[in-house]
Chains A and B, each alone.
Chain A
């Protein structure tokens, strides 16, 4: 066994994993070859030094979570990825340290059952008509169908069904809440109806977005983020492409200007909700 060959067995010998014949052969070599012996002594020292690697304390940079969320968000802007409002939520939550809670809270919280008190929103919903009302920064869904209906709430971002309600004479009245920093988007549809509603609920923070381009749904997210108002889209073509520049006006003005000559109508109710049709 020459020196180079002997060195190939250093690790196995150190770990006592060398089989009988080879072990004996290496030990003989070590006894007779002073250079090899010195090499092995240095090797053992190196192995001990390497053990120190696992004790090294590495400080985690405070921007790490945000860096991850930002990178995922960049992926989101590419057309081939459909997902991530979730990454937006996560990014906001990264600062607050509340990611899991925040995402959970971004899902709509529903109560369904018999007739319920209306909490001062001006009476029960009109029969067979989906109503969206404002309660603080949340949106309340109010629906009292006269015939059996199914309401499905999905995330238009992920396509995942979030809630399904089979209503048979009951009234559905429930808040759609978002406790995150950025706006959250929900699609609410009554099975059998032609056009679903897109509901954008503002987050806790406002954004400084001044201009952009994208779909009507993207515009609604930008308006909800900048002006902190809920937006409901009741139009078939939410993927229609528009550009926008927000001036010094209010949310209604911003939405109206962006959708001027685009075949949509905009109005803002007294409770602040912006409706795009």
Chain B
């Protein structure tokens, strides 16, 4: 059992008895990692911060139910993943706006300005095309596969930890991850072909 695991357990036990500083410390300890995970899933800073904030609200609401049967980080990943999936589900239910649409103003019609949230070419100078390709390709995967890829390859979680976080059998995690990697390979090959044209 690692020291950080013990620290979490101690903080949780104290937080469960109403110790505010313990809950605060728990947030401080995990907010960076939580954000990195959320950002890797969304590639959007605002959305990632919202997911982390919602995640900690859920932690707060459910803390009294946490029995310590899994590591706190595992539980946190599960909550963050659910927050992310909920956001995506809401987005899918939302009506979309055409890029070509116009805004009606008192001065007539104005073309809708769509902000490009991606990094500028100057920001990308030091990053290889390959790295950008893999990040883009991960972003094209279905949400659940994306979460698994990020957990395993970016967050360096084991299959067992992912299984615990997503409440799935280890075998299912392995087979779905393999499918995700094969899909990624196909997406990257397609990308390479586009570059060659």
Residues of A within 8 A of B (CB): 7-12, 39, 42-43, 45-47, 49-54, 56, 58, 60-61, 63-65, 67-68, 70-72, 75, 81, 83, 86, 89-90, 93, 99-100, 103-104, 155, 158-160
Contact = CB atoms under 8 A, between A and B. Distances in A.
Contacts of A10: 178, 181-182
B20 A71 contact: no
B4 to A, nearest CB: 17
Nearest to A17: B174
A86 B61 contact: no
- Chain B binding site: helix, strand, loop or mixed by DSSP? helix
Interface in B13-27: 17-21, 23-25, 27
A50 B31 contact: no
A58 B25 CA distance: 22
A40 to B, nearest CB: 9
B52 A68 contact: yes
Contacts of A46: 134, 181, 184-185, 188
9 contacts: A10-B178, A54-B153, A60-B35, A71-B57, A72-B60, A89-B20, A99-B28, A100-B24, A160-B18
A104 B21 contact: yes
Interface string B22-55: 0111011001100110011000010001101110
Interface in B149-165: 149-150, 153-156
B138 interface: yes
Given A42-B185, A67-B49, A72-B56, A50 B20 contact: no
A86 B174 CA distance: 42
Interface string B139-181: 0000000000110011110000000000000000011011101
Given A53-B134, A54-B153, A99-B25, 12 more contacts: A43-B181, A43-B182, A43-B185, A52-B131, A56-B135, A60-B31, A60-B36, A65-B28, A68-B52, A81-B61, A89-B20, A100-B21
B6 interface: no
B189 A53 contact: no
A54 B21 contact: no
Given A46-B184, A53-B40, A12 B53 contact: no
Given A60-B32, A90-B24, A160-B18, A52 B134 contact: yes
Contact of B150 (A42, A53, A83, A158): A53
B56 to A, nearest CB: 5
Name the 10 nearest CB pairs between A and B, nearest first: A86-B20, A71-B53, A160-B18, A11-B178, A53-B154, A50-B153, A103-B21, A46-B185, A49-B134, A158-B18
Contacts of A158: 18, 20
Contact of B24 (A60, A63, A75, A99): A99
Nearest to B133: A49
Nearest to A99: B24
- Among A46, A54, A70, A90, chain B packs the most CB atoms within 10 A around the CB of A46
Contacts, number: 128
Contacts of B52: 64, 67-68
Contacts of A53: 40, 134-135, 138, 149-150, 153-154
Contacts of A50: 134, 149, 153, 181, 184
B130 interface: yes
Contacts of A7: 178, 182
Given A50-B149, A64-B52, A103 B20 contact: yes
A70 B53 CA distance: 8
A198 to B, nearest CB: 18
B181 A58 contact: no
A53 to B, nearest CB: 4
A67 to B, nearest CB: 5
Contacts of B155: 54
A71 B53 CA distance: 6
A39 B31 CA distance: 39
Contacts of A159: 18
Given A103-B20, A158-B20, A49 B36 contact: no
A158 B21 CA distance: 13
Nearest to A101: B21
A5 to B, nearest CB: 12
A54 B133 CA distance: 15
Nearest to B187: A46
A147 B133 CA distance: 78
